[in-house]
Amino acid sequence: MADLPKIFPFIRYDDAPAAIEWLCAAFGFEKQFIVPGEEPGTIAHAQLKIGPEVIMVGTARGAARGERRPAAAEARQGIHMYMPDIEAHYKRAKAHGGALINDVRDTEYGSREFGALDCEGPSWSFGTYSGEGG
């Protein structure tokens, strides 16, 4: 049980099927399972994973009715993921059109990391910081 994730970030996208494909291509996620929504082209629930880490993805609740989410610039949260080979991960994200917030850099807390927006705007950071704190 120690190797299983304990927190599952959940992200809703206007076009969840496209976002799933993009997250797999650009950030290296693998599809764990996908549950289609009631409306055609929607996702009720999906799980994507990298190693033991899992995120949940679905269609934004109002997207099927044409409602829009707040702009990504208004978001006050993001996701950070530990990534041991940060240089290779950066190249992959950049090759698949990740909107880079910053290039790979060393931080004052000992991490080597970069930031990117995904295909619909949520903020992600990837780095060698694994939560050990100081």
> Which pTM value belongs to this model?
0.78
* Average of per-residue pLDDT values in the chain: 84
pLDDT at 134: 44
User: How far, in whole angstroms, is CA 52 from its chain's centroid?
Assistant: 15
What is the pLDDT, as a whole number, of residue 3? Answer: 60
Of 8, 1, 48, 46, whose CA–CA distance to 28 is shortest?
A: 48
Q: How far apart (Å, rounded) are the C-alpha atoms in residues 70 and 110?
A: 33
Looking at residue 71, its amino acid is: A
Token reading at 88: 């290779």
Instruction: Return d(Cα 129, Cα 31) in angstroms, integer.
Output: 25
The model's pLDDT over 91-111, given as tens digits with 9 standing for 90+, comes to 999 998 888 888 999 987 888
| Beta pairing class for 78-82 and 53-59 | unpaired
| Average pLDDT over every residue of 105-118 | 89
Please report, for the chain, the start and end positions of each structural domain, with discontinuous segments joined by +: 10-63+76-127
Q: How far is CA 69 from CA 55, 60, 122, in A?
A: 19, 8, 11
Pick among 3.10.180.10, 3.90.1530.10, 3.40.30.10, 1.10.1740.10: CATH of 10-63+76-127 = 3.10.180.10
Q: For 35-77, write each residue's pLDDT tens digit.
A: 998 889 999 999 999 988 889 999 987 655 555 555 554 555 6
